[in-house]
Structure 1
Amino acid sequence: MTLPDSVTERAESLRSELEAHNYSYYVLDEPSVTDSEYDRLFQELKALEAEHPELVTADSPTQRVGKKPDTGFAEVRHEQPMLSLDNAFDAEDMAAFIKRIGERLQLDDTADLEIACEPKLDGIAVSLMYEQGRLVRAATRGDGSTGEDITLNVRTLNSVPLRLMGSGWPERLEVRGEIYMPRAGFERLNALARDADEKTFVNPRNAAAGSLRQLDPAITAKRPLEFCCYSTGVVSGGELPDRHAQRLEQLHAWGLKINAEMRVVSGLDGCRDYYEQLAARRDQLAYDIDGIVFKVNRLDQQEQLGYIARAPRWAIAHKFPAQEEATRLKAVEFQVGRTGAITPVARLEPVFVGGVTVSNATLHNMDEIARLGVRAGDWVIVRRAGDVIPQIAAVQTDKRTGEETEVHIPEQCPVCGSAVERVRLVKRGKGREQHTEGAVYRCVGRLSCQAQLIQALIHFVSRKAMDIDGLGEKNIELLVQKELVSSPADLYRLTVEQVLELEGFAQLSSENLINAIAASRQVELARFVYALGIPEVGEGTARTLAAQLGSLQRLREAEPLLLTWLPDIGLEVGHEIHNFMQDDHNRQVLDDLLAQGIDLQGETDIAMGLQGAIGLDMLLLRMDIPGVAKTGAEALARYFKALEPVLAADESVLAEVPKLSRKARDGMMQCLRNDDWVARIRALEQQLRDFGMHWESEVKVAAGANAQPLQGQTWVLTGTLEQMTRDEAKERLLALGAKVSGSVSGKTHTLVAGPGAGSKLAKAEKAGVPVMDEASFLQQLAEWESA
């Protein structure tokens, strides 16, 4: 029977299109379509070939993984083909997979069928060949039959052992796995690229592929890549366990990384439960996954099931909803934030991506628009990873029609009409300032701009700030629109009668709101500092400022250089804090708030660790004297012992200072001849005296200060706590002096693990980090807090 021309032509068209996309994806490392679009095209061709087997050709994309890679690396012929996997897109596909296995294995019941489950990492499949326990070759999968030799690059990965641990490994052992880039590393890599005005990567998978294909291994070594094994290939001169999961555990014992989320379940119900559980935690993982791989666990059953042309019958990949999609950018609008930052927002044709319908996406700033080359009307790739705000990852310039328009920053604020200015960055060092243009544009209207006022108030009343219950975003907008509130202090002037005028408020709810506002007058210093909305000062920095300085007045007076002696506060943040506190408008707002009866709780003396802690050498070192490093500053301090003799010194006196170099003497004289420099160091020394930080200051115990038994310790919380929220647990740990981190590292002191703990618990146990359950944690908290 002759096939209709339309069917033959469609099959040929699909082959050509898929091969073109394969070339872009595997050879150029520049994806031309989203994964979901590729899957749809592939499934259409597969269905056509299944219906008309005579359409199948040896070079069809359904018969091999993809296009042969670039020839920049030597070719490697795989002794055993690295096959792809068939996909399941819904529960029905999974049920059909299990049913087929049961039929082929002639099982009466598949409920007890062992299935190994692993996250499907979104990375690059590779083969590692070990001979006599030593890594001799690493290769990419390539087209499944032939890959590229990337041994030198893979050797740079710390997660790939160059020699296997232990003993008993086969004479030749091929380990197969995935090289991928964790999300945090990907964000850091792109941030560095943006800072250097270089092209950013579209997604972590593309970044991993580009990193592996660097001809210079030194470049690969700088990229945050990880390797995770998922199977074996060639095995000779030895034996491995007869179950897939046990094989992986054996590889793990030999020093190879496996996925901590791997599980063995029973039957279809076990597969469904695993899929639902991991899908619910997908956003919490440190890496991207695009589905779950299910494999028959017993090797004898795998052999019995065998293979089809391009995939094993005993494994399937159950895909998650796509996290990248293509859509049209309708327009770019500009929003005004709490600090006046003008932020471009992409208005999109609605598109379903990452499990939700997306119609808006962030564009970060005008520099990002320039880097992407985005224009209104463009077709763009939208990426959404979990709860992360959707963002535009790339522009499909080949789809442009010429009707697209360039995007420009508005000259006036779109809310209040005030002027828009570009922020200037100041880089300070060695007594010099370098001014550059920043990426942020700001409205200069401050609280006279309704957008800034509303956002500032929303932040001020939020749970981690002043915690005023009943003042949601809608109510704040009403208060501003009716001109009842024009600054945070106006909240404390509100009356029940005024609140009654607002939509949705009755007598009781109005009284409750006024009472809640009144109750917020008594507030911890750290919460109040955070509520002010100082640029670059988040919750943690606010807590540091409160704990270290001890009072709002010291914070209002603190010089930028003095602030840099506080933990985790650099010079730029110090200048942001100082500039905020010295600004006339902000000073007026603060004075107004205090006049309304704000009663700051927990104010104390300066922190014990700062009392009398700043020596003359440390003071001199902070002043960026040319040629004076740590050794020179210590030499000056030992010789002069006080600041005034230093300031009175001349070249002949400086020449008598032991171990002070000629370069340091010249730099010192340069500063001593600068009246502004002399005035600044005198002012800084006086502030050290006023604050009790000066080396001659009396050391005393701060009033009301706690011993803070966890000072210097880093704790990590994971899983679901049942007796309190994670935020509450974090607050109590911070109050005891601990740092609370989001990831396990060599610095982790203790991990608190609640039900549902996953990869963090596994990593802590492997690293020997002490683990505490919730009951023990609560008991220990009670002991510390009652001490």
Structure 2
Amino acid sequence: MTPMTTPVAVIVDAVGYAQAVEDAVKASAAYYSGGTSALDDDAYDRLVRGIAAWEAGHPEQVLPDSPTGKVAGGAVTGDVPHTVAMLSLDNVFSPEEFTAWTASLARRVDRDVERFSVEPKLDGLAVAARYSRGRLTRLITRGDGTAGEDVSHAIGTIEGLPAQLAVPVTAEVRGEVLMTTAQFEHANDVRTAQGGQPFANPRNAAAGTLRARDRAHTVPMTFFGYGLLPLADTGTALAARLRESAHSDLMDQAAGLGVNTTATTAVPGITARTVEEVLARVQEIAALRPELPFGIDGIVVKADLAADQRAAGCGSRAPRWAIAYKLPAVEKITRLLQVEWNVGRTGVIAPRAVLEPVEIEGSTITYATLHNPADITRRDLRLGDHVMVHRAGDVIPRVEAPVAHLRTGDEQPIVFPDTCPRCGSGIDTGEQRWRCENGRDCHLVASLSYAVGRDQLDIEGLGHTRVVQLVEAGLVADLADLFALTRDQLLGLDRMGETSTDNLLAALAAARNQPLSRVLCALGVRGTGRSMSRRIARHFATMDHLRAADAEAIQQVEGIGTEKAPSIVAELAELAPLIDKLAAAGVNMTEPGATPPTTTDTAADGGTVAAQRPAGPLAGMSVVVTGTMTGPLEKLSRNQMNELVERAGGRSSSSVSKKTTLVVAGEGAGSKRVKAETLGVRLATPDEFAALVADHLD
């Protein structure tokens, strides 16, 4: 988990304090009423903590509108009173602050708290759902904590919030309404198709959608319950049970009623008995955060037992028995300064955003992906826009959407190129990803540098500088020309002595024997990479069988669907002259140990049956490799480990899910090991895995 320093805005005088309070109130009102704000979450947190720091030193100057004494969203009014105040949570940002909070909690209850509940803090909108005899009758926002807005019109559009409970009880379910990543993308597709501005992020989308009335279209949202309490007309026995139940028991009861809770996710709520156990769970959830299909901005820790909660009591804005351990922000608002158009090795023309530098999770972000021209148009991005930038874990930062309400009118349209920005040729705009009409020839150096790389043909001695030299000398016009190089040609180049020449020729000779999977990867077929190239090679066994396959046959390879298959067929047809030239140069076109799918044997009754492929020890298994390998596997790169997995009959994967069969966890294994343990996936050490696949080690 990335360490998080306590963020505080510096306020130097009473004038600055008053301005900070005004800014915070405006930002909160915009955030909770329409899902829009001039401040991102991190900036708002810094501002509020700065306000609190000033007030601690100047208690006589505290303004009545200060956000430190109000429930989150307190600027938003509502006309439906809450039966029990719907409070916010105070925040901590470090293990030290959390430990100090637990000490203060122990003082309040006059003993150490013996059990905590630990759950992800979902990044959505808090609501109260009232059920009468099992039927959902009313849905209310948090509002100012004492009264909220009636949003019952949204009933029936929220997944995980049943219209009818499994048991006909009268009770109130509290929880968070949010949009998953998939729901957010769908919402923006619908919104832009209707001529509206795209939402900046899923949280804004959920807030805006939940409040929208009389809209011609609806988009789904998701509910996660985090509370269960009685209403005035709840039966006496049930009301007593709900008031006395531990929080973890209440969540089990809610799930039993059919309400969605985090128990169904990769980060279910747990109970912990010590500070150390809580902090370990915080690290686990933080490590899994980038892979979750919904946003979280922290971890909620509560005294689990009802007696401890009563003893601790509540303040005017937050319970004293619960705290939010905030995680570093993964989304920030910054400005889009420029768009660069870069040409990749296959001729794809990719736009890249140049940003006003912004820090996210400890890294300064100045560039972010814009996907493709169609995405720019769909999101209505303009130069000078304030944009929401998202980065989680090690993923490439991406621009989500413009923050349209911050526009000044000075923003300018993004100009798309008419010709290839690299070579000036025409552009094929037939697909969402535009491509230079010269294809791979447009950026020959990049294409060759990729093909000879370690995970492709692995030709040592052919670095970027040497490739440039060969191209500029006119010795190489495509990949196959590398295998036609002579000793005299190489010796004629600058800085190529006899030793380096002989070493390069030896590396080229070795590259001729690389398996088909690496040859396919070196060719750079669009829509495939190292993993997919291995799968295709294992399935078809030879280049001839692959080239003879139509789109339907290629769809038999796992992970290739109806859109990708025709593209692969077309790419192979386009590459046919180069493939023929490589084969003529003696480059291997078969995959060792693989059996073509069309091979048949004679059955006992005279018919034919497909030949059975040899089953390895990993047959039918999905395997993820993570961490540093040791022992017999120490010298294998990650790509070589994945090749080993597939030689042994398994399928290599880069992410852990419920479908994963085995995780090989080496030294320093992090979030993937945690997720495997959470999901109950089998773990193996490098030595155990080496023994399992011993017959397939080179």
TM over 0.5: yes
Match of 1:29 among 26, 32, 35: 35
Residue in 2 that maps onto 1:356: 363
CA gap 1:175/1:556 in 2 versus in 1, 3 angstroms: same
Gaps of 5+ in 2: 1-11, 232-237
Residue in 2 that maps onto 1:466: 457
**C-alpha separation between the residues in 2 aligned to 1:400 and 1:749?**
46
Structure 1 residue 569 displacement after superposition: 5.0
Match of 1:230 among 222, 226, 231: 226
Provide the secondary structure at the position in 2 that maps to 1:600.
coil
Provide Cα deviations, 1:296-345, integer angstroms capped at 9, x if missing partner: 33332322222222011222222222222233333222211122122221
Residue in 2 that maps onto 1:577: 568
CA gap 1:251/1:564 in 2 versus in 1, 3 angstroms: closer
Provide the secondary structure at the position in 2 that maps to 1:599.
coil
Residue in 1 that maps onto 2:146: 145
Aligned ranges for residues 741-760 of structure 1 at < 5 Å?
A: 742=655, 744=657, 748=659, 750=661, 757-758=673-674
Q: Report if the CA contact (8 A) 1:115-1:266 is conserved.
A: yes
Q: Report if the CA contact (8 A) 2:356-2:366 is conserved.
A: yes
Aligned AA (1:204): P
Match of 1:244 among 237, 247, 251: 247
**C-alpha separation between the residues in 2 aligned to 1:207 and 1:715?**
35
Aligned AA (2:445): I
Match of 1:97 among 101, 108, 117: 101
CA gap 1:48/1:457 in 2 versus in 1, 3 angstroms: same
Residue in 2 that maps onto 1:706: 614
Provide the secondary structure at the position in 2 that maps to 1:239.
helix
Is residue 584 of structure 2 the alignment partner of residue 589 of structure 1? Answer: no
**C-alpha separation between the residues in 2 aligned to 1:41 and 1:184?**
32
Residue in 2 that maps onto 1:204: 202
Structure 1 residue 249 displacement after superposition: 4.1
Provide the secondary structure at the position in 1 that maps to 2:414.
coil
Residue in 1 that maps onto 2:303: 296
Structure 1 residue 80 displacement after superposition: 0.8
**C-alpha separation between the residues in 2 aligned to 1:93 and 1:518?**
61
Structure 1 residue 84 displacement after superposition: 0.7
Residue in 1 that maps onto 2:341: 334
Aligned AA (2:67): P
Match of 2:427 among 421, 424, 433: 421
Aligned ranges for residues 461-500 of structure 1 at < 5 Å?
A: 461-462=452-453, 464-468=455-459, 480=471, 485-493=476-484
Is residue 408 of structure 2 the alignment partner of residue 408 of structure 1? Answer: no
Structure 1 residue 567 displacement after superposition: 6.7
Provide Cα deviations, 1:395-443, integer angstroms capped at 9, x if missing partner: 356666776544323344333x33231422xxxxxxxxxxxxx433322
Aligned ranges for residues 485-634 of structure 1 at < 5 Å?
A: 485-493=476-484, 514-539=505-530, 541-543=532-534, 545-558=536-549, 569=560, 572-583=563-574, 586-602=575-591, 606-608=596-598
**C-alpha separation between the residues in 2 aligned to 1:273 and 1:504?**
55
Residue in 2 that maps onto 1:617: none
Aligned ranges for residues 142-181 of structure 1 at < 5 Å?
A: 142-151=143-152, 153-161=154-162, 172-181=170-179
Is residue 48 of structure 2 the alignment partner of residue 42 of structure 1? Answer: yes
Provide the secondary structure at the position in 2 that maps to 1:359.
strand
Residue in 1 that maps onto 2:180: 182
Aligned AA (1:326): I
Q: Report if the CA contact (8 A) 1:422-1:439 is conserved.
A: no
Residue in 2 that maps onto 1:121: 122
Provide Cα deviations, 1:508-550, integer angstroms capped at 9, x if missing partner: 8876665444323223333322332222334565455445544
Aligned AA (1:706): P
Provide the secondary structure at the position in 1 that maps to 2:392.
coil
Q: Report if the CA contact (8 A) 1:116-1:264 is conserved.
A: yes
CA gap 1:553/1:114 in 2 versus in 1, 3 angstroms: same
CA gap 1:548/1:274 in 2 versus in 1, 3 angstroms: closer
CA gap 1:45/1:567 in 2 versus in 1, 3 angstroms: closer
Structure 1 residue 87 displacement after superposition: 1.6
Q: Report if the CA contact (8 A) 1:85-1:311 is conserved.
A: yes
Structure 1 residue 759 displacement after superposition: 5.4
**C-alpha separation between the residues in 2 aligned to 1:159 and 1:514?**
63
Q: Report if the CA contact (8 A) 1:243-1:297 is conserved.
A: yes
Aligned AA (2:247): H
Provide Cα deviations, 1:469-503, integer angstroms capped at 9, x if missing partner: 66566765666567664422244345789889999
Instruction: State TM-score, norm by structure 1.
Output: 0.70
Is residue 397 of structure 2 the alignment partner of residue 393 of structure 1? Answer: no
Provide the secondary structure at the position in 1 that maps to 2:223.
strand
Q: Which has the larger radius of gyration?
A: 1
Structure 1 residue 153 displacement after superposition: 3.7
Is residue 437 of structure 2 the alignment partner of residue 444 of structure 1? Answer: yes
The count of residues paired between Structure 1 and Structure 2 equals: 658
**C-alpha separation between the residues in 2 aligned to 1:784 and 1:153?**
59
Provide the secondary structure at the position in 1 that maps to 2:262.
coil
Q: Report if the CA contact (8 A) 1:720-1:726 is conserved.
A: no
Q: Report if the CA contact (8 A) 2:300-2:325 is conserved.
A: yes
Is residue 79 of structure 2 the alignment partner of residue 83 of structure 1? Answer: no
Aligned ranges for residues 370-385 of structure 1 at < 5 Å?
A: 370-385=377-392
Aligned AA (1:341): V
Q: Report if the CA contact (8 A) 2:617-2:692 is conserved.
A: no
Provide the secondary structure at the position in 2 that maps to 1:84.
coil
Structure 1 residue 70 displacement after superposition: 8.9
Residue in 2 that maps onto 1:258: 262
Provide Cα deviations, 1:186-205, integer angstroms capped at 9, x if missing partner: 45655677789864332222
**C-alpha separation between the residues in 2 aligned to 1:577 and 1:527?**
16
**C-alpha separation between the residues in 2 aligned to 1:399 and 1:157?**
30
Provide the secondary structure at the position in 1 that maps to 2:546.
helix
Q: Which sits farther off after the overlay, 289-298 or 50-59?
A: 50-59
CA gap 1:340/1:602 in 2 versus in 1, 3 angstroms: closer
Instruction: State TM-score, norm by structure 2.
Output: 0.78
Structure 1 residue 121 displacement after superposition: 1.6
Q: Report if the CA contact (8 A) 1:717-1:726 is conserved.
A: no
Match of 1:325 among 332, 340, 344: 332
Residue in 1 that maps onto 2:292: 285
Aligned AA (1:122): D
Provide the secondary structure at the position in 2 that maps to 1:597.
coil
Identity between Structure 1 and Structure 2 (%): 33
Residue in 2 that maps onto 1:679: none
Provide Cα deviations, 1:145-194, integer angstroms capped at 9, x if missing partner: 223444564545453355556x8x9x544332223333355456556777
Provide Cα deviations, 1:347-392, integer angstroms capped at 9, x if missing partner: 2232211321111111222333334444444443322222222122
Provide Cα deviations, 1:571-594, integer angstroms capped at 9, x if missing partner: 6544433433333xx333222222
**C-alpha separation between the residues in 2 aligned to 1:105 and 1:22?**
33
CA gap 1:399/1:26 in 2 versus in 1, 3 angstroms: closer
Q: Which sits farther off after the overlay, 733-742 or 539-548?
A: 733-742
Aligned AA (1:581): L
Aligned AA (2:427): E
Residue in 1 that maps onto 2:7: none
**C-alpha separation between the residues in 1 aligned to 2:92 and 2:487?**
60
